[in-house]
A and B are shown apart, each in its own frame.
Chain A
């Protein structure tokens, strides 16, 4: 599992509330990613990080922000959750040597 832990695994929240998802890794990988998975769309990149305090946008970044204050943690924040952000969110890391990207177990978010 490449030492990836996502929390919470399941969350139900109300529209307009802030939500933060956490991705924790134990193997000192430089690159970390947040994807969302929706039926018919596969997985789409939200944001990624290439080091502490170094982040960049993916293809579906609107409504999301990220932070990486230490190597092991990459946080995804929905500042004001909307129903369109109901999805499954996956954190991923890339090995420091090689091309393989590994995914966490996912966080199921429902915005009501």
Chain B
């Protein structure tokens, strides 16, 4: 059972453009929504995260937009750079108990110079 759906599977953006990755979750009990960035041969690394009590969080060029009623959230990368080329995973998490992460399928982002 896929509880977090992520799209698109792959994305190509020109340098300087805006990259947008979307996720939808099913379980309304989730209360923490992190995004992870993964480079080839490395483990996923936390990029940015949001709680459902806010609609937007921005850190530098990275912004999460959150729509609680639609059970959707998205990652926006402004002024995309070749160094942003990586695989991005959205995730959903319950912050009580074991706090297990449920991941989306991943998006391979390529920024063309």
Contact = CB atoms under 8 A, between A and B. Distances in A.
What interface size band does chain B fall in?
Answer: 20 to 34
Given A43-B89, A90-B43, A101 B101 contact: yes
A99 B45 contact: no
Interface in B73-108: 89, 93, 95, 98-106
Interface residues on A, range: 20 to 34
Contact of B99 (A90, A94, A102, A105): A94
Contacts, number: 59
Contact of A40 (B32, B36, B49, B105): B105
- Classify the interface of chain A: helix, strand, loop or mixed: strand
B44 interface: yes
Interface of B: 4, 6, 9, 32, 34, 36, 41-46, 49, 89, 93, 95, 98-106
16 contacts: A33-B100, A41-B105, A42-B89, A45-B101, A48-B98, A50-B98, A56-B98, A90-B43, A90-B44, A94-B99, A99-B49, A102-B45, A103-B44, A103-B45, A105-B43, A106-B42
